[in-house]
Amino acid sequence: MWVIRFGEQTTTPWSNGGGHTVTLLQHPAHAEQTEVIWRLSVAEIVGSSAFSTFRGLSRWFVPLTDEIEVTVGEQHNRLPPFDVLSFNGADQVSTRQHQQTTHNLNIMARTDVVDMRLHRHTLEPGEALGPRLTPLSARPSGDEHPGELDALVVLDGWLTGASGEVAPWSLVTEPTRSDLAATAPTHVLHVHITLADGGKPSAPHSL
């Protein structure tokens, strides 16, 4: 298990001044933004904003703090916190929000290369994390595949265990092997990223 704490990561300002991004984890680790296979990040959006386009990528957007209006092409969506919206990275996307500043989880992936699955869970105080989650795969030890990921993002609430406290917007790898438990009502998003079968395009899944 590896904990990536939001507050310890580098903040990157947007070139248009509309916000900034904290990358939690990506593959390849040092790839340029246009060359990533997948990336999980938290963005702070200031005021209304237009998204950059990323052709060849699928995207998932999760409000973390406040309701936000997201327009994808001609479709208008009103998202409460923790709802998941998926769209094509080539789409024209803009946001409108009631609060001046919001934080949002952004996930992007090349779904011609990987299969992305998202599962949202709510934990009650004292509830252990591991029993609620399904492992990424049953691969034997030593048969790891670079670019695959079994991780969990804390959307709100707190987790605690032998590795200490895990605050909101942090990421935990291999969460099914952890001793973490919720210390308050806690929403989490379990992220499965596996290699697409035979390298064929794979449709995104969310729950």
Model confidence, pTM: 0.88
Beta carbons of 189 and 118 less than 8 angstroms apart: yes
CATH class of 114-206: mainly beta
Amino acid 16: pLDDT? 67
The CATH number of 7-109, from 3.40.50.2300, 2.60.120.10, 1.10.10.60, 3.30.70.600, is 2.60.120.10
Q: Which pLDDT score is estimated for 48? A: 81
- Which residues belong to CATH 2.60.120.10 in the chain? 7-109
pLDDT of 7 reads 92
Q: Cβ(1)–Cβ(177) under 8 Å?
A: yes
Q: Indicate if the alpha-carbon torsion angle 180, 3, 89, 47 is positive or negative.
A: positive
Mean pLDDT by 10 residues, the chain (207 residues): 94 79 94 90 88 91 94 95 96 86 94 92 95 65 68 97 95 93 97 70 40
Residue 116 CA to residue 78 CA, distance in Å, equals 24
- Residue-level pLDDT at 50: 85
Q: What pLDDT score was predicted for residue 142?
A: 44
